[in-house]
Amino acid sequence: MGGFKVTFPNNKKIDVEFNNFKIKTDQSKENGGDETAPEPFDVFISSLGACAGIYAKSFCDVRKLPTSNMHIFVDVLFNEGKKLMDQVNITLHVNQHFPEKYIKPIIKAMNGCAVKNQFHPDIKTSTAVVFLDQ
């Protein structure tokens, strides 16, 4: 992995460049920013969802399972006293026709997410699959 160049365009905006990519972040107006881009913590949580998502998508692709309407919802609960993550819930929503026999295996696949596996052991995580209402 190459390095990451962090620059400070103006106000509370921070850009991160690596390879041929640029990630733009900003702060909310409440935090003195202009709200032109996600806050860095939101990008962090987004990377968790994207990581779990590629594991789920790859699992389905190998088995030729459709992924239309499939989506992941990531919910973060905080320890209010310390303002730290206490629990992270990753929920994959699948169509009614998703085979029951693949529920546990796709959860196992999603739990292979490298971002999730970097979390401190004190952060509780849960990964689940639920069926979409028709």
- Please write the tens of the pLDDT for every residue from 30-78: 999 999 999 999 999 999 999 999 999 999 999 999 999 999 999 999 9
Question: pTM (2 decimals)?
Answer: 0.91
User: What local confidence, expressed as pLDDT, does residue 134 receive?
Assistant: 65
| Residue in the structure block whose two tokens are 């987004």 | 46
Answer for the pair 72, 92: CB distance below 8 angstroms, yes or no. Answer: yes
Query: Do residues 73 and 109 touch, judged by C-beta distance below 8 A?
Result: no
Complete domains list, the chain, with CATH: 66-131 (3.30.300.20)
Give per-residue pLDDT as tens, 66-98.
999 999 999 999 998 888 999 999 999 999 999
